[in-house]
Amino acid sequence: MVNSSGATTTSLKLLLYEIEATPREYWADLLSALRQFRQKIPSATSPVVNAEQAQKNQAAIALLDSWLDDDEDTSEQQMTWDFLKTALDEDRLSNRPLFP
């Protein structure tokens, strides 16, 4: 028999696996769908919320959302990565490149 803590851990691992298996460009849609689903669940009891912690959580959520919504130019990111790879491989003591 699995206790509720073990079942919760297993469910959380499965949920995280599904999130990681989803391409990042769809994470904002996934987050939106999850929030909509949670809002539809009837609440039997009102949760006890620490107002200070809730405010910190909202700040973290806003930061994560801003990262997901960041529409930086992909080609600029690729150029930056190419430059970094070259710079890191220039003065290596080994003949092997750090990033093949």
The pLDDT value recorded for residue 49 is 74
* Spatial distance between the Cα atoms of 82 and 96, rounded to a whole number of angstroms: 17
On whether the CB atoms of residues 30 and 22 are closer than 8 A, the answer is: yes
- Please list the pLDDT of the chain residue by residue as tens digits (100 residues): 445 567 778 888 888 888 889 899 988 999 899 889 888 888 766 666 788 888 889 989 988 888 777 666 777 888 888 999 888 888 888 888 877 7
- pTM (2 d.p.): 0.37
Burial-class residue 49 by CB neighbours within 10 Å (0-12, 13-18, 19+): exposed
